[in-house]
Amino acid sequence: MIRRLLSRLRPAPLPMPAPQPAPAGGVSPRDAGLHDAILDGWFLNDSGELLKGFAISTDDTLLDVGCGEGAATLFAVRQGASVIFTDSEHDKVRDLARQVDAQSDKANLGLVSNSLPLPLADGCASKVVCMEVLEHIDQPEPFMAELVRMGRPGALYLLSVPAPVGEHLQKGIAPASYFQAPNHVQIFSPERFAALVEGAGLVIEHRQATGFFWVMGMIFFWASERAAGRDLSGAVRDHIQAPYPPLMEGWAKTWQDLLAQPNGLAIKQMLDQFMPKSQVIIARKPVDADAASRRTA
């Protein structure tokens, strides 16, 4: 049975950082976004947690489906884990494989695949990551079943999709192709996202809303593209990379200045609740077949 979800969509408690004044001039949105993510509990090197509650160790084999640039894969490599990473784009898998090989002496595997199905054995991974992928999938239910198949009994899953408020806001300014294949073809309400995860047999352990910074950042990106007169009628990226327009850099500096205020973190957490870029679920595959049915009974 799906629990009431709104009470669970909250950032994990985090310590208040010491105010840090922003440097003069532009600020890289990538750097500001990374700092924002760390405040939300991501990339915790000291504890080996990719996200608070999702620890990775040398005993793990991590499967990263839709690895993209490889942030999760490379974090796992730094924790000493073996990694399996997949993406539909050959260049991304090739480039990430080079980085993994340079940093790891373990048996690792990179695959170019659309993930239905993946040519991997049942239960090949103790940790499974699939972030910002499900919104691209025409039929998310069989895709989730494939993710569950590849997790060992007791495996931990880290899943994320865009939050609906931010997606609907993007519809007002992003080009139409942003919401067409191979980009975003699904919008998940919190209830639908939880139903997808639990319907696949996983037990939800944690939920989190994050990324107001990037909702606004993407709006400023599209506004800059339109102001520059660029043709947005063709295929577009669903993520933003350097070089960043000045409007985005100005927003990054404003956000950094806000976080440096005494109540900056509290304001950030409120805005992340109000208009998150992503909704995140940490879930676990039951150790025995009856665990999921006991959970939903």
Give every strand in the sheet of 82-87, ordered side by side. Answer: 109-112, 82-87, 61-65, 125-131, 151-162, 278-284, 203-210
Q: State the amino acid at position 23 in one-letter form.
A: P
pLDDT at residue number 1: 34
* CA distances (Å), origin 160, targets 4, 131, 188: 19, 5, 10
Choose among 158, 156, 162: nearest CA to 190.
162
* CA distances (Å), origin 232, targets 54, 141, 173, 176, 229: 38, 31, 11, 8, 9
Cα-based torsion angle of the residue sequence 105, 106, 109, 115 in order, rounded to the nearest 10 degrees: -130
Choose among 112, 238, 231, 250: nearest CA to 187.
238
* Chain centroid, CA 206 distance in Å: 14
* CA distances (Å), origin 236, targets 48, 178, 294: 34, 6, 44
Q: How far apart are CA 239 and CA 222, in angstroms?
A: 11
**In a structure prediction context, what are the per-residue pLDDT tens digits for the chain, which is 297 residues long?**
333 333 333 333 333 344 444 444 568 999 999 999 999 999 999 999 999 999 999 999 999 999 999 999 999 999 999 999 999 999 999 999 999 999 999 999 999 988 778 889 999 999 999 999 999 999 999 999 999 999 999 999 999 999 999 999 988 888 888 898 889 999 999 999 999 999 999 999 999 999 999 999 999 999 998 888 876 665 455 557 778 899 999 999 999 999 999 999 999 999 999 999 999 999 999 998 544 444 444
Residue 108 half-sphere exposure, CB side, CA atoms within 13 Å? 27
pLDDT at residue number 38: 96
The pTM is what? Answer: 0.86
pLDDT at residue number 86: 96
Antiparallel, parallel or unpaired: β 125-131 and 109-112: unpaired
Residue 141 half-sphere exposure, CB side, CA atoms within 13 Å? 3
